Amino acid sequence: MNNDQFGIKEALSELGLKETNSGTSTGSNWLDSKGDILESLSPVDGNLIGKVSSTTPEQYEEVVKTAQEAFKSWRTVPAPKRGEVVRQIGEELRKYKEPLGKLVSFEMGKSYQEGLGEVQEMIDICDFAVGLSRQLHGLTMHSERPNHRMYEQYHPLGVVGIISAFNFPVAVWSWNTMLAWVCGDVCIWKPSEKTPLCGVACQNIINKVFAENDVPEGVSCLVNGDYQIGELISNDTRVPLVSATGSTRMGKKVGAAVGARLGKSLLELGGNNAIIISKDADLDVAITGALFGAVGTCGQRCTSTRRLIIHSSKYDEVKEKLTGAYKQLKIGNPLDVNNHVGPLIDKDAVNMYLSALDQVKEQGGNIIVEGGVLEGEGYESGCYVKPVIAEASNEMQIVQHETFAPILYIMKYDTIDEAIELQNGVAQGLSSAIMTTHMREMEQFLSQAGSDCGIANVNIGTSGAEIGGAFGGEKETGGGRESGSDAWKVYMRRQTNTINYGTELPLAQGIKFDL
């Protein structure tokens, strides 16, 4: 299928993308292309979209020094004024929603509707951050000493490093950045080397708004490259907070590096998410939630549904309905709105998918919806695969592991206690859900003895989150929280203040120190 008919060339032009782009920016200043070239190959058709130069260590130094200098002035801008700049960014993103959504879809491989949804998440977090800019509150408390006042306040941290993943190439960056900016921080962003053009496009949009508002150079910085650039950020004592999204393996390395220098890390890592389908579930709702959770973004969401834990009395019916739904899935070009499932990100992801299927069979699983790589017209990239359903036990090693691909494991349970134990019986703890109309089951699932995940839903799937709630998980998911609620506090340092407005100096705890 010719992708020009979907307006890809026009979208690239609107976003200011060239055939070869600098991947290093301190804002409006794009540094000369000196590093290795990253080629962005679309998983949609396998063709080259564009090139981006990697950041050299010398350029990284220039970026950090510029960011440090920018922080000195940006932190003094009143928070509502910073919020006004973010409001304008939201308006600019509305103008570029279609071309940016197309780029997300074409460079990453998710459906165009999901690409538009990702840009909408950026717009939503801008709106959230604007309101937040007038609510960066502290606390007041009573002092035990007369004529004293105590309170707590929050100050910006400084330079925030953001390492994002390919599966949400723009949204997760915006979750971090918009909050960090209204808090008074400056940001250095390293996008995934698999989706570098999305990073350059976002920087182009930001630069326009910043120029109109005289925002200092260095508030928004971009660096590109492989894991070595991530290591520079993680080991840099000038970067007090590193927010990293990706695999648990990657997160452990980032966390160790940042922790060794006593920095702060915000880690959003792997998920192994389950939906419990109760005997009292509305199966129409349950099947829809399970289907999108398992195959949306071709199973490449950290919140993708990996496991279905089904009550034994409903097991055969759910299996039959789900198998029928899988047969109706249309796999193909994600820019075509008639298709449900696009490609995996690259050939390495395809190989991991195939390896996982081999392990399912070796470990005793029973594949009931067969997989495989699609070939022929429209599948030339070699990245299109068939979504799989396999009967498996929770204890199987492959089930315990997160495979970033559309593989769904189904299993039985008899009691709600057993179901919750199965749900919690993995190393990851991001998202979870129960499908039930039984009030007691709902409440038990959400209680302290229920789901051990950072996200626990009732009668909606594991995938998809609104920006108003804090997003993140427990255990090997990393424990971080970003986006809504009070996640803004991670981007700030907390300070306790005591003011003596009297004429004497009484000491706390009644200590006497008379001369």
Judge whether 87 lies within some domain: no
Residue 502 in tokens: 């009297």
Judgement on whether residues 245 and 278 belong to the same structural domain of the protein: no
- Selecting among 221, 302, 383, 453, the annotated active-site residue is 302
Q: Are residues 68 and 193 in the same domain?
A: yes
Range 89-116 average pLDDT:
98
In whole angstroms, what is the distance from residue 406 CA to residue 295 CA?
Answer: 5
Looking at the structure, tell me whether residues 391 and 489 fall in a common domain.
no
| pLDDT at site 478 | 97
Q: How confident is the model at residue 513 (pLDDT cuts 50, 70, 90)?
A: confident
Q: Say yes or no: 225 and 353 in one domain.
A: no
Same structural domain, 145 and 66? yes
Check which CATH number belongs to the domain holding 369 and give it: 3.40.309.10
The verdict on residue 289 lying in a domain is yes
For residue 237, being part of any structural domain is answered with: yes
| Segment 272-287, tens digit of pLDDT | 999 999 999 999 999 9
Q: Which of 171-185, 320-334, 499-513 has the lowest mean pLDDT?
A: 499-513
Count of beta carbons in the 10 Å neighbourhood of residue 457: 23
pLDDT at residue number 279? 98
Answer yes or no: is 389 within a domain. Answer: yes
What's the pLDDT score for residue 34?
Answer: 84
Shared domain check, 188 and 303: no
Give the Cα separation of 5 and 337 in Å (integer): 13
Q: How many C-beta neighbours within 10 Å does residue 157 have?
A: 22
Are 215 and 284 found together in one domain?
no
> What's the rounded Cα separation, in Å, for the pair 477 and 35?
33
Task: Clarify whether 126 is annotated catalytic.
Answer: no
231: containing domain: 3-76+138-268+485-494
Number of structural domains (the chain) is 2
Give the pLDDT of residue 465: 84
Shared-domain flag, residues 259 and 290: no
Q: What average pLDDT score do residues 67-90 get?
A: 98
pLDDT of residue 2: 59
302 annotated active-site: yes
Q: Tell me if 34 is assigned to some domain.
A: yes
Kindly state whether residue 91 falls inside one of the protein's structural domains. no
Poorest-pLDDT segment among 1-10, 21-30, 159-168: 1-10
- Are 348 and 423 in the same domain? yes
Q: Is the pLDDT of residue 1 over 60?
A: no
As a whole number, the mean pLDDT across the chain is 97
What percent of the chain clears pLDDT 70, i.e. is strictly above it? 99
In whole angstroms, give the CA distance from residue 492 to residue 489: 5
Q: Tell me: do 375 and 451 sit in the same domain.
A: yes
Same domain, 228 and 247: yes
Instruction: Look at residue 128 and tell me if it is in a domain.
Output: no
pLDDT at 404 over 90: yes
Tell me: do 349 and 252 sit in the same domain: no
Instruction: Kindly report the CATH number assigned to the domain that includes residue 173.
Output: 3.40.605.10
Q: What pLDDT is recorded for position 129?
A: 98
| Alpha-carbon gap, residue 465 to 461, rounded angstroms | 10
Which residue in this structure is represented by tokens 């590096």?
A: 257
Q: Which of 211, 124, 132 is nearest to 174 (CA)?
A: 124
| pLDDT value at residue 3 | 66
What pTM was estimated for this model as a whole?
A: 0.96
Whether 511 is covered by a domain: the verdict is no
